[in-house]
Amino acid sequence: MSTSEEGRPAGGGGQGDEGREAPAAPASDAARARELLEVLSGYRGRRLAVVIRGFPDPDSLACAWAHQRLARAAGTSCEIVHFDAISRPENRAMVKALEVPISRLSDPRGVEDFEGLCMVDASALPLLTRTRAPPCVSVVDHHRASSKVDARFAWIDESVGAASTLYARLLAAGPAPLREDEDESRRLATALAYGIRTDTDDLLTASREDLLAMADLAPLVDPDLLGMLSDQAVSAAAMDIIRRALAAVRIEGTFAYAGVGYVRTEDRDGIGLAADFLLRREGIDTTLVFGIVSGTFIDGSFRTSSPTVDPGAWLKEAFGNDPAGGPYGGGRKHKGGFQIPLAAFAGGPDPEMLWELTRRTVEFRIRQRLGVDAPPQGGAPAA
């Protein structure tokens, strides 16, 4: 039912995809746009939401906004909703400066008020497993699906660096292309360009498709705004997390990992920044940084510059599956992440001991996965 245009099941991972040709023919973009609009037009007069998974980032925000525009072109209104706070200051700046029309649902069960959900930059919403979530209408993503994708429209293309590239193509091929003389178009184009930039390390890892989409957006992009968003300073909290990662880092061959202790929800993205930073160390090609976020779950970021390491597969092999059978995280070419709930262990009587246990367990899983037998020498400070 939910196969992508390439004729492969959208949910089927497994086979290597490094050498796959990008499906670039403009005709098939037009066919996809038509198909998505037809599905969306079936929801006229009904409540539809596009849901952002996890902490909203530039790619997911831009895609959700583009999706809303496509829905409007189909005569359907579609609300953009998210659950987690926007933790990174530059992402808050993006929402504010570009006026991204989002609203936060404090309770996941809020989705029960909608008649259909659309997913962007993700193909599953684990948070909603305990809700009576309405059916999934569409999925547009560039991550390998970790489970079967059940949606009326699905387009998953792992060859692109950002889902914003896919939405830029859908918009260009659809009935409501972005226009230079329209304010929303220019702001949305800037958001999509920012999404592509942030997901491709400032275009360093961009694919041909990402660059082509960037070129198409260029005439509409506000360069001052894009520059302002890209130049956001690293927050003091993120600096502190990077410092803690440097102090605690352990090295096994070309692999560096560090536990950074407790991290506030709003500082969570410091973990990813620290993983990025450790990757710049000479002789290191893969990093994992983890901490306890909001006191309730273990959160980790995985980065690799190695062509042979698959972040999603690596994390699954190291940490296994959750009780529902799904992996704790996932990833794409160069980055991945995971969240493991502390469940009843959260908020216990001894936070220091809980961190120590967490750190030692995660490090044990890492070393087990690396095939290192003896624990490394020297103790890392319990941050």
Binding site for Mn ion (CB under 5 A): 59, 121, 163, 199
Instruction: For residues 65 and 78, give the distance between their C-alpha atoms in angstroms, rounded to a whole number.
Output: 9
User: For residues 261 and 337, which CB has a smaller minimum distance to Mn ion in the complex?
Assistant: 337
Minimum Å gap between C-beta 155 and Mn ion is 14
Question: 3-class DSSP state for residue 58?
Answer: helix
Nearest of 198, 111, 130, 211 to residue 169 by alpha carbon: 211
User: For residues 4 and 76, which CB has a smaller minimum distance to Mn ion in the complex?
Assistant: 4
On whether the CB atoms of residues 116 and 48 are closer than 8 A, the answer is yes
- The CB-nearest residue to Mn ion is 59
Report the amino acid identity of residue 373.
D
On whether the CB atoms of residues 208 and 247 are closer than 8 A, the answer is no
User: For residues 121 and 299, which CB has a smaller minimum distance to Mn ion in the complex?
Assistant: 121
> From edge to edge, which strands make up the β-sheet containing 48-52?
102-104, 78-82, 48-52, 116-120, 136-141, 153-156
Minimum Å gap between C-beta 161 and Mn ion is 8
Minimum Å gap between C-beta 141 and Mn ion is 8
Minimum Å gap between C-beta 70 and Mn ion is 18
Minimum Å gap between C-beta 52 and Mn ion is 11
Minimum Å gap between C-beta 163 and Mn ion is 5
With 0-12 CB in 10 A as exposed, 13-18 as middle and 19+ as buried, what is 135? exposed
Residue 177: both structure tokens together: 């292309």
Sign of the CA dihedral running 147, 205, 155, 79: positive
User: For residues 199 and 269, which CB has a smaller minimum distance to Mn ion in the complex?
Assistant: 199
User: For residues 51 and 245, which CB has a smaller minimum distance to Mn ion in the complex?
Assistant: 51
- Only one residue has tokens 């082509």, namely 212
Residue 77 has phi, psi (to 5 degrees) of -90, 140
